[in-house]
Chain A
C-alpha cells in the first residue's frame, strides 16, 4: 500500500484483527480471566437507578464460593427442594442432549445443538421467572422447556420431524415452539427474538398486564442490528423485559473478541442505553437465579429492562455440523475457571447435607433411562430419513390463514406428482 507523502513522518496505520488466546494443541492458561470472589458484589435495591451501579456490568455476580457455600447479598436463599429441582432439570438437559446428539450421529435426524456447560443459563433463569412469563429463546435454551415441564417426547418428535411432531416437520430440529409453555417459536436467524421480546413486554405493559418477558441470545449475535434495536426500544419504553446475553466465548469458530469482548463486557452494552446491566457467573446456578429474580422484580415494578451477561463456556461444538477441534484448544473446557454448573450445584447441595454422590449417581441413571425410554417411544412415531411422516398437504397449510388459489393449485400439482411417482414416500 502506498504511504501518503504528506504524512510520511507518521508511522503507518495498522489494522487490528482480534485473535483468541489459544488454538488447537495450545496449553490453556485462563489465569487472566478475572474471577472475583463470590459474595463480594453489592446487590442494589431493585428500584435503584441503573446509573448508580455501573460496576456490576464489569464484575461477575457470584454466589457459590470455592467450597460450594452460598454467600453474599445475592444469595437467593432457596430451599433444598427448589435446589434439587434445579439440579435435576440441569442433569436432565444434559442427558437429553447426550441422547439426541447421538441420535443425530446415528443418522436419525439432520441436526442437533447441545448446551453442555450452559445448563444453568436456561434452567436457573427459568426457575426464577413466573410460569406464565414469556420466553423468547435462541436455539440453545432447551433448559427452559425442560424446566417448565414440556414433555420430552414432544421435543424428540420435533427433532425427528416425525408424525408426532406438532410443528408438522416444518422446522429444523430443535427449533421448538411451545406457546402453552410461554416459549416463542425459535428462529434460526440470529437475535431476531430480541426486539420481539421487547415488543411482547411493551404490549404487556400497555395492557396493564403483570407478565414480563425474557429473551436470550449469544454474545456473537449481539453484533446484529436487532440487538441494538431491542435495547433502544427497551430503554425508550422502559419495557418489562430481561435481556440475556449468553457469553459462551465462541460463535462457531469466532471467539468473543469478534463481538467486541476485547474492549469491554457485554453487560456494559447496557450502560450506553441507560439500562440496568449485570454481569453474572453463568456457571453459578444461584447467581443466575438471583440475577434473574432481581431483574424480574425490576421489570414487574415498572423499573424497566435489565441486560444480563451470563459468562459461561460452550463446552461442545456449535452444532452437529461443527468440529471445534479445528479452531480451539480442547483444554479450554477442562480449564474453564468457572467450572461445571451441574457439579457446582451438586457440591453445594452436598455441603448443605441435602444430597450425596449416591443419590446423584442414581438420579443420573434414572434420567438416562427415562430419556432412553422416551426416545424409544418417540421413534415409534418415526425418525427423519425413514420416509416423510407428514401428510403432503401440510406443506401448504399455514403459509396464510386462508389458502390462496395459487397454493391450492400447487398443492394439487404436488399430489398429481405423487401419483405419477407411484407414491414413493409418504402417504396422504
Chain B
C-alpha cells in the first residue's frame, strides 16, 4: 500500500483527516494575515506542506506573510532560500516529486522571470509528459500589481504570461476571506498554481483615488475571516454586485476600484470578481453577459495580449448575438510600469468611468 505522504498521486483527502466545511471563529484579518492563516492551517493539517522562499523564514517575509510559521513548524518546513527564483521553483518541483506540497514564495512577481523555464517547461508539463507518473503540486505565491510607487521592478502584473501556459492554474484573490479560502484550495490542488497577491490591497481595499485616505479591512465584509479551515473552490467566480446594465469582469485590486467607480457613477453594473483566471468560470460570465448584453473587462496589466484579450475573445465567441455594444477593455498602458507617473498609468476611476459611458452610449 502506498504511503499517502510520499505518494505524489495520493489525493489530499487520503492524507489528511476530513474536516467540517468551515471551522473556528471568524475574526477580522487583513489580507496578509489571511494568507498567513491559510498556510498555518494547511501546515497544521498536512505534514507534506512546506513553505520556502527569500526571507520567509526567521524574518517571516518582507510583507510578513509567513510571520511565525518557522517558529511554529520548524526550519525544515519553513525555510529561507538562496536568491535564485529559478532554483526556488526547480527545487520545489523536486520536493513535489518526492511527495511534498511546496508553497514557494517569489518575493515580487517582477522577479519571477528567472523561474520561467522551471514553471513553463517543467512544472506546467510534468503531469502531461510523464502521463501522470509525476506531478508538481506547487502553489507559487507572489505579490503583484502596482499602486505603491514601486517602479518597474515592484509593480508588474504578469498574470497573462502564466494564463497562456497550458498546465498552470492562476488564482488572484480580492479580499482576505477569498485569499485564505482560495490559497487553501491551491495548496490542496495537485496541479501547479500561480497565486498572485494584489499587494496594493494587503492592508485594505483601494478605491482607486490615490489621494484619498487609506482604508483598512475592518469595515469590509471580506475582512471577516474564519480562523480555521475552509475552501473556496478554484474555477468559481464571485458576483460581487448584481446589476442589469453591463457586466464588468475583473479581479484583484481592480475589483475594488471598479466597485467604487460604479458606486460613484450610479451605473447598474454587474461586477464579477473572477478569482480564478485559469480555469475560468465561463458559466458565470456567460450567464451575466447574456443578461446585461454588455461586457467590460478591467485589469491593471498591460493591454496587448493581456488576460482581457482572452476574456474578450471568449465572450465574443459565445455571446456575440447577445452583445449590444463592442466589448470594452480597461487596462494599464502598454509601457513598462512608470515610477513618477504611476497614477497616470494606473487604470483608475476616470478610465473606468469613460469606458462605462462609452459602452452604455448605444
Contacts and interface: CB of A to CB of B under 8 A. Distances in A.
A19 interface: yes
Interface string B65-84: 00000000001100111111
Contact of B84 (A171, A225, A407): A225
Interface stretch (B183-191, B192-200, B344-352): B344-352
Contact of A251 (B5, B83, B335): B83
B59 to A, nearest CB: 4
B114 interface: yes
Interface hub of B62, B334, B335, B354 (most chain A Cβ within 10 A): B335
Interface in A141-193: 161-162, 165, 168-173, 175, 187-190
A406 B334 CA distance: 8
A418 B5 contact: no
A403 to B, nearest CB: 10
Contacts of A190: 83, 111
Given A254-B83, A414-B344, A395 B338 contact: yes
A310 B85 CA distance: 24
Contact of A259 (B59, B82, B86, B110): B82
A321 B59 CA distance: 14
A406 B304 contact: yes
Contacts of B336: 170, 399
B152 interface: yes
B149 interface: yes
A201 to B, nearest CB: 23
B338 A19 contact: no
In terms of DSSP, what is the predominant structure of the interface of chain B? loop
In terms of DSSP, what is the predominant structure of the interface of chain A? loop
Interface string B327-340: 00000011110111
B320 interface: no
B248 to A, nearest CB: 18
A414 B62 CA distance: 34
A307 to B, nearest CB: 18
B291 interface: no
Contacts, number: 153
Nearest to A167: B339
B58 A171 contact: no
Contacts of B350: 417, 420-421
A224 B151 contact: no
A187 B303 contact: no
Interface hub of B82, B83, B149 (most chain A Cβ within 10 A): B83
A406 B10 CA distance: 49
A18 B81 CA distance: 10
B54 interface: yes
Interface hub of B58, B113, B343 (most chain A Cβ within 10 A): B58
A110 interface: yes
A425 B86 contact: no
A414 B149 contact: no
A301 interface: no
A240 interface: no
Contact of B344 (A162, A326, A395): A395
A252 B82 CA distance: 12
Contact of A390 (B58, B82, B340): B340
Given A172-B150, A172-B152, A417-B350, A388 B59 contact: no
B55 interface: yes
Nearest to A15: B76
Nearest to B357: A420
B153 interface: yes
A220 interface: yes
Interface of B: 3, 5-6, 47, 54-55, 57-59, 62, 75-76, 79-87, 110-111, 113-114, 149-154, 303-304, 333-336, 338-341, 343-345, 350-351, 353-354
24 contacts: A17-B80, A110-B151, A111-B149, A162-B340, A169-B338, A171-B151, A172-B154, A188-B110, A188-B152, A190-B111, A220-B82, A223-B83, A223-B84, A225-B84, A252-B59, A253-B58, A254-B80, A384-B149, A384-B339, A388-B344, A395-B345, A396-B333, A417-B350, A417-B351
